[in-house]
Amino acid sequence: MTKTIKQAQSNSAAADPFLWLEDRTSKQALDWVHRQNEITVGELQGDPSYRATFQTALDLMTAEDNIAVGAAINGHVYNFWQDKTNVLGLWRRTTVASYKTEKPEWETIIDFDALSAKESVKWVFGGASRLYPDFNRCLLSMSPDGGDASEMREFDIETRSFVENGFRAPASKSGFSWLDKDTVIVSAAFEEADKTQSGYPRVVKLWKRGTALEDATPIFEVEKEDLAAGAALEFDGDRRYLILARTLNFFASHIFLRLPSGENRRLPLPDDMTDSAIFRDRLVFGVRSPWTTPDGLVCKPDGLYSLDLARWVETGALGPVETLLEPAHRVSIAGIARTQDRLFISLMDNVRGKVVVCERNNRAWSLKPVALPENGNVGIAHAEHFGASVSFSFTDFLTPSSIVWSDDDGATLATVKSQPARFDASPFISEQFEARSKDGTMIPYFVVRRRDQDGPVPTLLYGYGGFEVPLLPGYAGVRGRLWLEKGNAYVQANIRGGGEFGPNWHQAALKANRQNAFDDFAAVAQDVVKRGIATPATLGIQGGSNGGLLTGVSLTQHPELFGAVIIEVPLLDMLRYTELPPGASWTAEYGDPEKPDEAAWLAAYSPYQHVSADAAYPPVLLTTSTADDRVHPGHARKMAARLQAAGHGKTLFFEETEGGHGGRGDRRPQAAQAAMKYVFLQRALSGTA
């Protein structure tokens, strides 16, 4: 085994013939990218069905009757909007009363197309931190290429202008929020000394108005090996808490409060605390693993607990911990949010959503369900921290999304927005099945197909399985029009590694247990075939980011199960992923290839090292982005090159030159990619490729 590991690591570096493709912007690498793009575009956009497919995707992505999802702040609902005219988008607002009407009267705050034309930079909106209490000043984040690194500028919403000589910082992965009108909290990642080895902020500073950014005062820092340092100002009634976080990895943090004395005092809570909120002087929190409090209460995963935070700040004593929500079988916490007077808990019950509202009176908690639709994906769309408005989203695979609004903390509900149907759902049915994985675990999955399906059809299986991220039922007009309406089926797998059933479901596929997620996905594929929904030849798979790793492993471990494979913005070289920023931030999920025992399990499945010239691989489409600063494009580039060099001629590669990891920005290239993927699937799974 040791010899195998050393050989694999050697192949991943010095002996890697495609290492040069890791140079993101070298002429040699980009020339290769352009040649690949020409082939893929010629193949897929040259298909007779492409033009209509692209136009349908673009029409749906930019439709003027799409729901304008927004959050209420101080009497206004804010929304970011893109359509065919506003390609890069409008940041805009309307009054709450107007938002509830069929045609709200929007006022534009920033027109990013106009700004981009003026400054000759394709600015992509990244959000805004607004200044309490009138929220008219904001720290605006804008990415120059759609990546995670963003420029920050101070902006005045009332005057619709950038503040002259206001706060401004160059593009980086830094974070900015207000302490007060003349002080900005900076989680800094500008210079190398300010960054962790993952490239995220290492130092928190206070930046005074009128001073240079480099003269900001450090107040907190973490180790170079940590994931990141972060900070946020939290309001709870008349109290303000400056919270500082030493994030060790994706699943562990040390939380500090900065006291008026200047002391950074650590909360004596477990590293794996999760789902936290401050409400009515209490800290509400969950845990990823069992934790016994000093007073003897056992806090369990998928439960919620609370302690007297105000008392701890004043006395340093933790005090008794209370149970707010008991854990329940196959029920997990999707998130928590608060208005001024209520706390809302979003739950997943066997991958279906519901919301509970909580009050605290007479030193006791009371909980009751919010009267929302059942048997779908229900979530909290927004909760107004300084008010009483709250909204909820509802959708499922066959029901268009809607927004249910309340101005009184969920007591009175009204559906204020409903997306029009994008396809005729009447011939289809949504079902939930279970597949038995290799170790006997039952893995739930959803199937959407025609009620009268008679025999196998082209079927798309989608999965993710990582980072506690759940895959929930959701309406997708593009998928409905371009896939389901053609008589095809769609399958969504809730494999381990995700967050569908809480921390234990995630931890069951963590690090050395990663193979469980891959086995789960294969089990679902086999069950889909067993049920007669598809055959291996008509079953395609798709996944992005960690899901790209999933589909990459599925390709190399079980090529016989699939007729087509789409690998999007993926991790694929797991023996070098920590060398490609910010890959070092994911060692808590996958393991560290520098440690021999962990390199062993990574080497056992790393797709890039397992490409075989002798395997019979189905057609493959790999996609990535030059501007992706979250998962390096080198993974997809090298995998495509290795597959092609091994003689697998049905390997296509496409790299977008902008848009970052999530494909933000202009909808046209997003529509083009969506169209190419559906053309690829239809050709491969119908036997016409």
Give the active site residues. 545, 661
Question: For residue 655, how far is the Cα from the chain centroid?
Answer: 20
Cis peptide before 104 (omega within 30 of 0): no
Collect all residues with Cβ–Cβ distance below 8 Å to 442 and sequence separation of at least 6.
434, 435, 436
**Euclidean distance between CA atoms 621 and 534, whole angstroms:** 20
N residues, the chain: 689
* Residue 267 DSSP code: P
**Euclidean distance between CA atoms 491 and 541, whole angstroms:** 9
- Per residue, the 3-state secondary structure of 420-478, as one string, reads CCCCCCCCEEEEEEEEECCCCCEEEEEEEEECCCCCCCCEEEECCCCCCCCCCCCCCHH
**Euclidean distance between CA atoms 569 and 534, whole angstroms:** 26
**Euclidean distance between CA atoms 107 and 93, whole angstroms:** 5
Q: How far is residue 122 from each of residues 129, 152, 277, 422, 664, measured CA to CA in Å?
A: 21, 15, 36, 30, 11
Q: Position of tokens 């007060």?
A: 180
Using alpha carbons, select from 605, 627, 596 the residue that is nearest to residue 549: 605
Ranges of beta strands (E only) in 209-251 are: 217-221, 228-236, 239-249
**Euclidean distance between CA atoms 171 and 307, whole angstroms:** 39
Contact 89, 82 (CB under 8 A): yes
Token digits of residue 148: 């995670």
Token digits of residue 295: 């007073």
Give the DSSP H/E element, type plus range, for residue 111: strand 107-111
Torsion 406-410-415-418 (CA) sign: positive
| Beta bridge partner(s), residue 76 | 73, 95
Cα dihedral value 506, 511, 515, 521, nearest 10? 30
Collect all residues with Cβ–Cβ distance below 8 Å to 43 and sequence separation of at least 6.
652
- How do strand 90-95 and strand 76-81 relate by DSSP bridges? antiparallel
**Euclidean distance between CA atoms 16 and 89, whole angstroms:** 42
**Euclidean distance between CA atoms 689 and 686, whole angstroms:** 8
Token digits of residue 675: 């169209």
Torsion 416-420-426-428 (CA) sign: negative
**Euclidean distance between CA atoms 533 and 421, whole angstroms:** 25
